[in-house]
Amino acid sequence: MGVNLSLFKGMGFFSKVRMLRVCMFLLMVGYGALPAMARYADIIIKGKVTSGTGESLAGVSVEVKGTTVGASTDVNGNFTVTADESATLVFSYVGYGSQEVLVNNRSTINVTMSTSSGQLEQVVVVGYGTQRKRDLTGSVTSVKGEDVARMPNTNPIASLQGKVAGLTITNSGNAGSSPVVRIRGINSTNSASPVYVVDGVLHDNIDFLNPADIETIDVLRDPSSIAIYGLRGANGVIAITSKKAARGQTRVNFTSSLGVQRVINRIAVTDAEGFKKLYAAQLSNLGAAPFDFTNYTANTNWQDEIFRDALININSLGFSNSSEKSTTLLNIGYTNQDGVLKYDNYKRYLVRLNEEIRFNDKIKVGGSITGFHWISNPEAAGLNNALWAAPIVPIKTDTGTYYSMPSFQRAQVGNPVAALNRNTRTSISKGFRIVGSLFAEVKFLKSFTWRSTVYTDLGFNNSRDYSPLPFAFVNLGEGTNPTTTTYDNTVRTGVSQSQSESKRFQQDHTLTFDKKLGSDHALTVLAGFTSIYSHGSSINGNRRDTTVNVPNNPDFWYLSTININNPGAFGGGGSESSIVGAFGRVSYAYKGKYLLNATLRRDGSSKFAPENRWGTFSSLGVGWVVTDDSFFNNVKTINFLKLRGAWGETGNANGFADNLYRPGISNASTAVFGNNVYTAIQASYIPDPNLHWEVVRGFDVGLDMKMFNNRLNAELNLYDRTTTDILTALTLPNESRSYFTNLGKITNKGIELSLGWSDKIGKDFTYSFSPNFSYNENVVNSIGDKTNFQLIGNNGANLTETGKSIGYFYGYRQTGIYQTTADITKSAAFTNSLPGDIAFADINGDGLITSADRTYLGTPFPPYSFGLSLSFGYKGFDAMFEGQGVAGNKIYTQRRIANFTVLNYESNRLNAWTTPGSTNIEPILDNSRGNNYLFSSYYLEPGDYFRIRTVQIGYTFGRNALSFLGIQKARIYLSGQNIVSWSQVTGYTPEAQIGSILGGGADNGVYPVPATYSFGVNVNF
């Protein structure tokens, strides 16, 4: 053991000897826990559970207190459980207060669940454990699995959009893609994505999850809640608990939805007539000879050619069984999603098996394994290609001959349909992923629980691609040039193959002490240890056949098809990293009304140099349940009120490269002498010798309140969070490589308000209304004193500096258009400004427009976000409406600034300046006027939007209506998603592009988020 102790090097708060003692102690208590367990006479207890309104409640958990024995109610609310005649039964159900009922030798017990403490009885994930929401001192929001399952999205996180205050989600319409997720603004100049914790396993990517197989999603937002996750948690944590089998029942559940996705808004570009008019005007403004359009008689809408109505089909079939000794859950999922961009397709097959075996009420073991297989066919069409291609060109003459673009864009822009059809179905991309876990849990000495879990996540991806022969192209005659047909015979067929594998192992070991001391003190102490190890490797190659043509048949898409003497290239790589941590938490409640939570974590990451590797993070939270104090007994309108405040500190090492402190050597650069090639080496980037992680600290104060007989639910949070030592890659002058360093400080301050009102009118009509609102202010407090250079992003369109929002838009402000030379003389202008150019504001008032007149033009990150949902129920019918939006940000229409050659014009250019007084917004059509392509407010548009996310109506068949089919319960629904948006954004989607931090907010042709119309069923057998 002496050798092994070296692992605790640097773990300051645990001395080696102490740790050894702890281990020995654990061993001893383990053995000591063996005896005990006497039993009295067991009886069978039956009963029915109903809600306050008399409706029977299905799925209520019925547990025998102090044991793991239990059951849950069936669809009619009935349960059967075997328990000791003097036992206590605990009834719990999401959204209701749990109730304890003494059996007292009764064989029938009927229970009415009350909503008295409502949601607050709910249990949420708090990191290596769970806690009653009532006892929380940080901000954690839970979303029920059914709210996720009812949305026809392939990624469960996409369904959270607008549901949680402080959570910003940007969806992509790409089939099978993951959304961009930010919690409480941007904390880092590096990766700002939260970490996902799925049943205890840390993931960056959760594409293996079946949305219908989720019990709850908890969003942990404040530093006190995430501190226990150490270096991984700083951007927030999204904890996902997958479904477990309900006690005492055998169930079959089937859900399916079928929908069609459609891009309902196109980017407005000119048609053939408009294009001809504008190009002619541009040539005339350039003083060039007119273009001969005679042979260009087509009017092609290229966007229509690359988009399609795409089907999406999501299915899930679950089987679960639970008995006294074991529970089993088997879930099978199949998703088939076509992308709206031809011929994007994604198929996913999922199987998850979860098994838990209880030897007795002290010992249980279990495991879960998910198999995930995906097949994707990437889109072959390019969005920008379709926007750029001149609409005057016809598509093709026959299947092998297409029209090329006119000479003015032929070298840069291809025929979008030719590209699409040439590359369609020339790629086979597949992956397998296996995520598994095993755990064992032992309760001993009454109050102690030891739990050990090992996890693994294995991934295998491979792809094979084919590069076909080109098409022939007809080049239409222009002027004196005749029409020709050309075929590029230098292009040869080729194949490529690639494979990659990844593996990850995580182990968690926790010891929990949970005891009520007397009637007033409840204490839970947790200590634990965790490690994560990741490794990956990849290999790829390609070969081009210079003698024969490889057929377009997947049977031949292997490197071995082509003789080794043909040209090709091969590559490969690998990665390795690890994290080790020890942690502890103390939760204490006095009389259930004064609450205290404290955590401590010591973490080490292999990404940093040994001397900068270890850090200690902690948090402290306090809460006061005001309504439990006697002076509050007389306040009848307020049913529950909790005030809470928390402070926490954690590190952030997310998204940094493996071995960040030791850059790899690039051997890609070469010296060439004659035909001899020699390798040169260079470190691929430059690290600050003292690189370390970012530190996130923050306060969070809030209140949870229930009023008016629990009909109104309110949650309010104020937070102030600061990130210091931001780890950033800088662009420095006189150095082409990036420089990684810690610098500066960013603060995110904000407020989050969530309200929920639910009530009923009469006996049958229920309704609820839940709006939420959040405001986040992002301020860069300092960019450090290490360098005296400026931080710029996206070629200078974004600037990061002290006192402003991170990566704000920095450029000229348009005041109008210079109409005449007199206009230019009397106003501030560039020395080379001409009539028809954009007039800019003279910010420094020196009478000239210079680079000093650039100014703050807005932020790419929405400060305001809001969401609301409205639902109604009447007998079997239900209806739901959800909307979501953001405000206060700007979007940079960077796709419009492209002017490297003649591209199709967006429709706004139809109003381009021609003569004095023609417009005060759109500059002249003349791409030699460089001033009009400077980054200015002309290229910004408000990012505000409100979008109807979901409109859904459903009908649930009565209990007996379908019993002849063996169906206990069935719901059918019609749903529309993203069907209407209100915004001034001209791109495909108004959703802010926040993936890049120092250079965010640019729309360079974002994949559209389609509207989806779907029909679905949810059946229980």
- The residue count for binding other proteins (CB under 8 A) is 136
Check residue 540 for interaction with other proteins (CB under 8 A). Answer: no
Query: Quick one: which segment of 205-213, 356-364, 429-437, 907-915 binds other proteins (CB under 8 A)?
Result: 356-364
Residue from 110, 205, 560, 682 in contact with other proteins (CB under 8 A): 682
Residue from 96, 254, 374, 529 in contact with other proteins (CB under 8 A): 529
Distances (CA, A) of 839 to 464, 814, 816: 53, 6, 5
Rounded CA-CA distance 115/159 in Å is 26
For 572, list phi and psi in degrees, rounded to 5. -175, 165
Largest CA distance in the chain: 105
Rounded CA-CA distance 430/372 in Å is 11
Classify residue 984 as exposed, middle or buried by CB count within 10 Å of its CB (0-12, 13-18, 19+): exposed
Q: Which residues pair with 516 in a beta bridge?
A: 522
Question: With respect to other proteins, which residue has the nearer C-beta, 289 or 519?
Answer: 289
Check residue 662 for interaction with other proteins (CB under 8 A). Answer: yes
Rounded CA-CA distance 178/184 in Å is 19
Fill in the per-residue mask, 28 to 67: x = in contact with other proteins (CB under 8 A), - = not in contact. --xx-xxx-x-x----------------------------
Fill in the per-residue mask, 930 to 949: x = in contact with other proteins (CB under 8 A), - = not in contact. xxxxx---------------
Q: What residues numbered 379-408 form the site for other proteins, per CB under 8 A?
A: 404, 407-408
Check residue 564 for interaction with other proteins (CB under 8 A). Answer: no
Check residue 357 for interaction with other proteins (CB under 8 A). Answer: no
Check residue 359 for interaction with other proteins (CB under 8 A). Answer: yes
Tell me the closest approach of the beta carbon of residue 389 to other proteins, in angstroms.
15
Rounded CA-CA distance 996/1001 in Å is 8
Check residue 795 for interaction with other proteins (CB under 8 A). Answer: yes
Tell me the closest approach of the beta carbon of residue 154 to other proteins, in angstroms.
32
Tell me the closest approach of the beta carbon of residue 486 to other proteins, in angstroms.
2
Q: How far is CA 819 from the centre of its chain?
A: 47
In 3D space, the residue among 929, 892, 922, 888 whose CA is nearest the CA of residue 905 turns out to be 922
Tell me the closest approach of the beta carbon of residue 226 to other proteins, in angstroms.
22
Distances (CA, A) of 182 to 169, 361, 752, 755: 6, 41, 14, 21
Q: What residues numbered 902-931 form the site for other proteins, per CB under 8 A?
A: 902, 927-931
368-372: which pairs have CB atoms within 8 A and are 24 or more residues apart? 368/199, 368/242, 368/436, 368/437, 369/434, 369/435, 369/436, 369/437, 370/208, 370/433, 370/434, 370/435, 370/436, 371/432, 371/433, 371/434, 372/207, 372/208, 372/348, 372/431, 372/432, 372/433, 372/434, 372/435
Residue from 675, 762, 763, 826 in contact with other proteins (CB under 8 A): 675
Query: Quick one: which segment of 263-271, 314-322, 568-576, 858-866 binds other proteins (CB under 8 A)?
Result: 568-576
Check residue 683 for interaction with other proteins (CB under 8 A). Answer: yes
In 3D space, the residue among 457, 248, 453 whose CA is nearest the CA of residue 367 turns out to be 453
Query: Quick one: which segment of 98-106, 212-220, 603-611, 885-893 binds other proteins (CB under 8 A)?
Result: 603-611
Structure tokens at 211: 């949305």
For 302, list phi and psi in degrees, rounded to 5. -65, -30
Check residue 855 for interaction with other proteins (CB under 8 A). Answer: no
Q: What residues numbered 714-753 form the site for other proteins, per CB under 8 A?
A: 730-736, 739, 741
Structure tokens at 930: 């460089």
Check residue 788 for interaction with other proteins (CB under 8 A). Answer: yes
Tell me the closest approach of the beta carbon of residue 691 to other proteins, in angstroms.
11
Strand pairing category for 568-590 and 594-605:
antiparallel
Check residue 533 for interaction with other proteins (CB under 8 A). Answer: yes
Residue from 286, 548, 848, 961 in contact with other proteins (CB under 8 A): 286
Rounded CA-CA distance 884/989 in Å is 14
Omega of the bond leading into 343 within 30 degrees of 0 (cis): yes
Fill in the per-residue mask, 497 to 526: x = in contact with other proteins (CB under 8 A), - = not in contact. ----------x-x-----------------
Check residue 798 for interaction with other proteins (CB under 8 A). Answer: no
Check residue 773 for interaction with other proteins (CB under 8 A). Answer: no
Check residue 605 for interaction with other proteins (CB under 8 A). Answer: yes
Query: Quick one: which segment of 86-94, 384-392, 666-674, 879-887 binds other proteins (CB under 8 A)?
Result: 666-674
Kindly state the DSSP code that residue 997 receives in the 8-state scheme.
S
Q: What residues numbered 106-135 form the site for other proteins, per CB under 8 A?
A: none
Query: Quick one: which segment of 43-51, 155-163, 316-324, 534-542 binds other proteins (CB under 8 A)?
Result: 534-542
Fill in the per-residue mask, 240 to 259: x = in contact with other proteins (CB under 8 A), - = not in contact. --------------------
Check residue 624 for interaction with other proteins (CB under 8 A). Answer: no
Question: With respect to other proteins, which residue has the nearer C-beta, 359 or 765?
Answer: 359
Question: With respect to other proteins, which residue has the nearer C-beta, 730 or 886?
Answer: 730
Element (H, E) at 496: strand 494-517
Rounded CA-CA distance 811/799 in Å is 9
Check residue 4 for interaction with other proteins (CB under 8 A). Answer: yes
Tell me the closest approach of the beta carbon of residue 23 to other proteins, in angstroms.
5
Residue from 576, 611, 764, 846 in contact with other proteins (CB under 8 A): 576
Rounded CA-CA distance 506/509 in Å is 10
Cβ atoms within 10 A of the Cβ of 353, count? 16
Tell me the closest approach of the beta carbon of residue 624 to other proteins, in angstroms.
38
Strand pairing category for 686-687 and 855-858:
unpaired
Rounded CA-CA distance 149/904 in Å is 42
